Structure 1
Amino acid sequence: MTMFHAVVLIDHHQAQVLQFDAEHVQAEKVKARTHHTKQHGSAVRTEHEFYAVVCDALAGIAEVLVTGSHTALTDFRHYVEKHRPALVPQVVGYELVDHPSDRQLVALAKQYFLKYDQMNGGRTAAPESSR
């Protein structure tokens, strides 16, 4: 079930993707796989593989808020802009947070999207396939 809004809590090791509507929340965890090699740049490749899986989890979601620490947000944003430019319009914001619960995260996202939608002249219509 793909919903209209999602909030992502991301760090360099895992991501919590919470899709939600007025009554439901659907959670998905994405964990980074670790590749212990001495090969130059393997940590960057591992991080890029992780970010790619997170991006795949956001497919079809119209509006996404990404939350996390400053470095995690910066690194993920750079990855999206460079490697997944089609996802850029779906990510409506980046917010710094410090270990919120799932309930706090959804409340923050609902408040954020309410302000975002009001600033943009009302809620963007959900795609026909998700109605």
Structure 2
Amino acid sequence: MSLFHAVVHLDHHQAQILQFDTEHVQSEKVKASSRHSKQHHNTVRTEHEFFAEVCEHLQGIAEILVVGSSTAQSDFKHYVEKHRPALVRHVVGYESVDHPTERQLVALARQFFLKHDRMAGVPTPL
């Protein structure tokens, strides 16, 4: 099921992706690799693999809100801008949140998209 809006709750260990409309919520989780190696820059490489997998799950979604810690958001934003420029225009906002429940995430995202779409003059297909 491909839905118009999604919210991604992101930290450096996992991402929860919630696609939703007025009646449906589809949830997916992506976990970062836990491989350990003495190879130089291995942490950056596994983080890039993790962010790449998150981006793959976001393909085809029109508007995306990314939430989580400011550090994880910043790292993800940098990755998207550098490695996934086509996705940049679909990520319409970043917000810092602590550890919300799935219901709180969807409620936050619905409020965000309602305001965002009104400001852009777009009818919201929530």
TM interval, short-chain normalised: over 0.9
Q: What amino acid does structure 1 have at the position aligned with 2:93?
A: G
Which residues in structure 2 correspond to 1:110-129 (within 5 Å)?
A: 110-123=110-123
Displacement of 1:50: 0.1
Displacement of 1:123: 2.7
Cross-structure match for 2:93: 93
Displacement of 1:124: 6.8
Q: Does 2:16 match 1:16?
A: yes
Q: What amino acid does structure 1 have at the position aligned with 2:100?
A: P
Q: Which runs of 5+ in 1 are unaligned?
A: 126-131
Q: What amino acid does structure 2 have at the position aligned with 1:69?
A: S
C-alpha distance in 2 between matches for 1:87 and 1:45 = 20
SS across alignment from 2:78? helix
Root-mean-square deviation (CA), in Å? Answer: 1.0
Cross-structure match for 2:32: 32
Cross-structure match for 2:73: 73
SS across alignment from 1:8? strand
Cross-structure match for 1:109: 109
Cross-structure match for 1:46: 46
Q: Does the CA contact (< 8 Å) of 2:113 and 2:124 recur in 1?
A: no
Q: What amino acid does structure 1 have at the position aligned with 2:11?
A: D
Q: Which runs of 5+ in 2 are unaligned?
A: none
